[in-house]
A and B are shown apart, each in its own frame.
Chain A
Amino acid sequence: MSVSISFKINGEQKVSEIRENTLLVDFIRDSLKLTGTHIGCDTAQCGACTVHMNGKAVKSCNVLAAQVDDADIVTIEGIASTDGEMHPMQEAFRSHHGLQCGFCTPGMIMSALDLAGRNSSLDEATIREGLEGNLCRCTGYHNIVAAVKSGALNMSKNTK
């Protein structure tokens, strides 16, 4: 048994045949070969699998691939500019040392982009609250919070 889905992935329109019980994260990693989206806990807690679905952050280990028919999906691979220049949020994580092992980073960045998109100004409390669904076991979060604050600020400067 299978279902056909038509979707946009990082700007590119595609059609795929999938088994009904395929999770979005497995589809992204195994079929689309976009392995920047990680599987951490596989129970919708750690947020390492976070991608954007129609502009909103979702945990792709807790969404069926069948649910993204007609949807617009963006993964960590889709946010840098085409000439390879990093997205301001990626650059902020680099310059603020907002990662150590890097496993949680793609999910952190995709969540941070959702957060920055919804808030014009981000204070520390809002950032910590907004990253509630992303776990990091290395950094102690301090530099992640600094990175998100700076990344969001640079994003708003770029759009002005």
Chain B
Amino acid sequence: MYNFSYHKPSRLEEAVEILSSTEDAKILAGGQTLIATMKLRLAGPSDLVDLGEIAELKAILKKENNIVIGSMTTHADVAGSEIIKKQIPSLAHLASEIGDQMVRNVGTIGGSVANNDPAADYPAAVLGLGAKVITNTREISGDDFFTGMYETCLLPDEIITSIVFPIPTRSSYIKFKNPASRYAIVGVMVAETHNSVRVAVTGAGSSVFRVKAFEDALGTNFSSNSIANLKVPHDDLTEDMHASSFYRAHLVNIMAQKAVATAK
């Protein structure tokens, strides 16, 4: 790993100040992707700004009809949170299936969302549950946040402070995972709110996406049967050693059906 300057600010303003005054600084959240990437010298930031000391970024609370999760909340804390298990069980379940326990004890929701790995789980939750990403300067709709493979609309000196998930009437996340890495080969979040249904897919393409045809069909009739015969075009889906694009298209449909059947 190349060396770097290490900063551990205790206030958000300090972190922003370091990021905006340094040429090639990176934010260190849990580091479960970043440190591995730096070890391979695929990343060599001049500075690391560790957000681990900023207390305000670690909280889970219910605010009106939303669950607000601080960006430095670990996957293990989301998976084990009584309030999330009660209000959005699909989200607690999703977090409980990320990587392994040691990764979940350190990795954070903010880090995962900002990294936008095409096979990560959280992007499906943000898009599927219609969440908002809150940064130090603005609120970003989940629909606008993810812009491409490993890309988001975040600016270099912008820090995610929390993510606001509206509580759905029912939802479910089902993934077909790679048994070794536990990344999603295909993962589907289905969520029903009072007036709409959202379906978000991770693992299948270059970035998380919604399936409008499923959403329309489920909006009329929320049952697995209503989407059973709807095909997802495979042209733009990922094709790799784990699964062909045809197979991924098939899995999107099957995982979506399972999610609908298990939504609660």
Contacts and interface: CB of A to CB of B under 8 A. Distances in A.
Task: Give chain A's interface secondary structure class.
Answer: mixed
Contact of A63 (B35, B76, B101): B35
A64 B31 contact: yes
Given A44-B36, A56-B76, A66 B6 contact: yes
B99 interface: yes
Contact of A44 (B6, B28, B32, B180): B32
Interface stretch (B18-26, B102-110, B112-120, B249-257): B102-110
B5 interface: yes
Nearest to B106: A58
Contacts of A132: 100-101, 182
A43 B36 contact: yes
Contact of A21 (B1, B50, B76, B99): B1
A63 B31 contact: yes
A53 B6 CA distance: 20
Nearest to A60: B102
Contacts of B101: 57, 111, 114-115, 130, 132-133
Contact of A57 (B31, B36, B52, B105): B105
A62 B99 CA distance: 13
A3 interface: yes
Contacts of B76: 56
Contact of B2 (A21, A45, A53): A21
Q: Looking at chain B, what size class is its interface with the partner chain?
A: 20 to 34
Contacts of B105: 53, 56-58, 114
Given A64-B31, A132-B101, A20 B52 contact: no
Interface in A122-142: 130, 132-134
B231 interface: no
A89 B234 CA distance: 50
Interface in A26-81: 42-45, 47, 50, 53, 56-59, 62-64, 66-67, 69
A57 B182 CA distance: 18
Contact of A62 (B31, B180, B182): B31
A1 interface: yes
Contacts of A20: 3-6, 48
A50 B31 contact: no
B212 interface: no
Contacts of A50: 102
Point out which of B6, B50, B76 has the most chain A C-beta atoms below 10 A from its C-beta. B6
A97 interface: no
Contacts of A94: none
Given A57-B105, A62-B31, A130-B101, A42 B6 contact: no
Given A43-B36, A44-B32, A62-B31, A133 B102 contact: yes
Contacts of B103: 44, 59, 62, 133
Nearest to A62: B35
Nearest to A134: B100
B8 interface: yes
Given A20-B4, A53-B105, A62-B103, 4 more contacts: A21-B2, A44-B32, A62-B35, A63-B31
B138 interface: no
B2 to A, nearest CB: 7
